[in-house]
């Protein structure tokens, strides 16, 4: 039985990463019970990826059944790295409560998952550090009512709104008093509207338009880069970094040495990271992770030019960066019809690739398996590729944070 582990970010009110929930699905998911699922999450994380790579040093939320808690499985884990997420299916009894009390004393945080109030859960409420309220299961005023009731028994609880899929839901949750937010609202535009292009964006669009032509002109690329001092500096920094090992003083020489494909990647990364807006860091990390993951799957989705798939992954969230309609953004960039159809309509093989990645992000295994079967993807390879994509993403993000790119 092969299992996959993926992560979903949990953000604070300022859209900074607070933690990641580690999620599991198995290929033969019906054959995995709750105990096996959590065991796979823990073992795959410890043995294959490592907590540091998967959660970037942030705490990991991991689901635990009552049986695993009674068996003492959290004893294997570090309290500062793991938050115990108690599944909504547990039956509350004295043995469970005694175990949770012990774990709290050890320093573990207790999280109640998919919470809907009932009186038999009051002992759990008194122990809880966090309560997660599902925005699909609960509606409107019901969410606020749960908070009000739980605060009567434990005023120190912090609340997590989960399955938040739009910015409207995010803002509503903030107004209700939620402290943290889980869902993929941050990958979507806040408002679709006509938005004036600033000079920074304009330079990027000119660059991408030239780079994506069938026969891009070195002289034209040089002119565009030289028109932007920051871009010129960044290019010389990357070409002269230890990774490449050159000693280059000329923009033209840097362009020739990098080549069109690597220039395309660099310009996209430079643009997304450098945007002066309120977008969360997790959006940049998600874009890079999608890009690396997509590139690793090039052999399965009918495009052996992995660089194009890197660009595809990055551009899949560009509407969220610019808060503009994707069709309008792509009209200003010279892209192949295959890439445009994939990005706008999720059509064609590359559209399937994006749908597969999005399903994998949410661990919607049923949908993901449709593409695994359709394209004869090696199931075990997906986990390896995802692990490698995480490592590459970490390296790229660190390079930007250290001003190396």
Q: Flag whether 49 is in a domain.
A: yes
The verdict on residue 39 lying in a domain is: yes
Residue 224 located in a structural domain: yes
DSSP 284-323: HHHHHHHHHHHHHTTTTTT---HHHHHHHHHHTTHHHHHT
Cβ atoms 40, 14 nearer than 8 A = no
Q: Do residues 378 and 275 both lie within one domain?
A: yes
Tens-digit pLDDT profile for residues 243-287: 667 778 788 988 998 888 888 888 888 888 776 566 888 999 999
Give the mean pLDDT of 229-256.
80
| C-beta atoms surrounding 168 within 10 Å | 11
Q: Comparing C-alpha atoms, which of 59, 43, 47 is closest to residue 7?
A: 59
Report pLDDT for 354.
96
Q: Which domain holds residue 239?
A: 199-401
- Structure tokens of 272? 């997304």
CB 192 within 8 A of CB 167: no
269 and 124 housed in the same domain = no
The answer to whether position 56 is within a domain reads yes
- For the CA atoms of 304, 307, 313, 315, what is the dihedral angle to 10 degrees? -130
**pLDDT above 70: percentage of residues in the chain:** 84
103/339 Cα distance (integer angstroms): 50
**b/e string for 303-315 if b means 16 or more Cβ within 10 A?**
beebbbbbbbbbb
The answer to the question of residue 169 being in a domain is yes
Q: What is the pLDDT of residue 44?
A: 60
CATH number at 223 reads: 1.10.3210.10
- pLDDT 10s digits, 108-131: 999 999 999 999 999 999 999 999
Domain boundary among 121, 153, 183: 183
**Whether 38 and 137 share a structural domain:** yes
pLDDT category at 195 given cuts 50, 70, 90 is low
The answer to whether residues 78 and 138 belong to one domain is yes
Q: List pLDDT tens digits, range 19-29.
A: 999 876 545 44
Question: Model's pTM, two decimal places?
Answer: 0.82
Which residue among 183, 207, 226 closes a domain? Answer: 183
Which of 6-20, 272-286, 383-397 is the most confident on average?
A: 6-20
191 within a domain of the structure (yes/no): no
CA–CA gap between residue 251 and residue 248 (Å, rounded): 8
Shared domain for 46 and 113, answered yes or no, is yes
Does 136 share its domain with 84?
yes
**Based on the domain organization, do 29 and 175 belong to the same domain?**
yes
Task: Say if CB 60 and CB 54 are below 8 A apart.
Answer: yes
74-85 residue pLDDT tens: 888 889 989 999
Q: Give the single-character DSSP code of 363.
A: T
Q: If you compute the radius of gyration of the chain from its CA atoms, what whole number of angstroms results?
A: 23
Whether residue 254 lies inside any domain: the answer is yes
Same domain (yes/no): 274, 161: no
Same domain, 123 and 220: no
Which of 127, 158, 183 delimits the end of a domain? 183
Question: Please, where are the H alpha helices in 107-228?
Answer: 122-127, 141-153, 167-176, 199-211, 218-226
Are 179 and 289 found together in one domain?
no
**Is 188 contained in some domain?**
no
Domains held by the chain: number: 2
Position 31 scores a pLDDT of 41
Rounded to whole angstroms, how far apart are CA atoms 46 and 40?
Answer: 10
Output phi, psi for 70, to 5 deg: -70, -30
CATH number at residue 7: 3.20.20.450
**Within this chain, do residues 97 and 26 fall inside the same structural domain, yes or no?**
yes
Q: Within this chain, do residues 221 and 312 fall inside the same structural domain, yes or no?
A: yes
Residue 30 predicted with pLDDT over 50: no
């Amino acid at each position: 039985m092969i299992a996959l582990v993926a992560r979903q970010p949990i953000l604070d009110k300022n859209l900074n990463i607070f933690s990641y929930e580690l999620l599991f699905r198995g290929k033969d998911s019906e054959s995995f019970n709750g105990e096996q699922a959590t065991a796979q999450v823990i073992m795959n994380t410890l043995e294959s990826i490592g907590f540091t790579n998967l959660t970037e040093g942030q705490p990991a939320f991991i689901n635990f059944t009552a049986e695993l808690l009674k068996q003492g499985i959290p004893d294997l884990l570090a309290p500062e790295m793991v938050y115990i997420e108690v599944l909504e299916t547990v039956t509350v009894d004295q043995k469970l409560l005694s175990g949770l009390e012990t774990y709290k004393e050890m320093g573990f945080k207790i999280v109640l998952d998919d919470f809907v109030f009932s009186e038999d859960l009051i002992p759990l409420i008194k122990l809880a550090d966090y309560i997660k309220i599902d925005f699909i299961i609960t509606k409107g005023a019901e969410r606020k009512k749960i908070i009000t009731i739980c605060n009567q028994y434990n005023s120190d609880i912090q609340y997590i709104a989960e399955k938040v899929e739009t910015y409207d839901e995010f803002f509503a949750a903030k107004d209700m008093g939620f402290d943290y937010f889980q869902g993929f609202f941050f990958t979507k535009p806040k408002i679709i509207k006509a938005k004036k292009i600033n000079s920074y964006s304009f330079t990027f669009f000119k660059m991408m338009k030239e780079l994506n032509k069938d026969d891009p002109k070195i002289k034209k690329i040089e002119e565009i880069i030289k028109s932007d001092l920051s871009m010129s500096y960044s290019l010389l920094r990357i070409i002269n970094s230890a990774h490449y090992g050159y000693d280059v003083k000329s923009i033209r020489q840097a362009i020739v040495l990098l080549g069109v494909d690597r220039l395309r990647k660099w310009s996209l990364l430079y643009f997304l990271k450098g945007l002066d807006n309120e977008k969360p860091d997790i959006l940049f990390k998600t874009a890079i992770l999608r890009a690396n993951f997509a590139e690793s799957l090039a052999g399965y989705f009918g495009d052996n030019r992995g660089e194009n798939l890197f660009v595809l992954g990055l551009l899949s969230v560009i509407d969220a960066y610019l808060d503009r309609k994707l069709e309008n953004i792509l009209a200003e960039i010279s892209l192949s019809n295959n890439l445009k159809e994939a990005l706008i309509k999720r059509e064609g093989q590359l559209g399937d690739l994006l749908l597969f990645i999005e399903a994998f992000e949410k661990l919607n295994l049923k949908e993901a398996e449709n593409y695994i079967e359709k394209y004869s993807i090696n199931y075990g390879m997906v986990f390896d590729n995802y692990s490698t994509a995480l490592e590459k993403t970490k390296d790229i993000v660190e390079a930007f944070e250290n001003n190396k790119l």
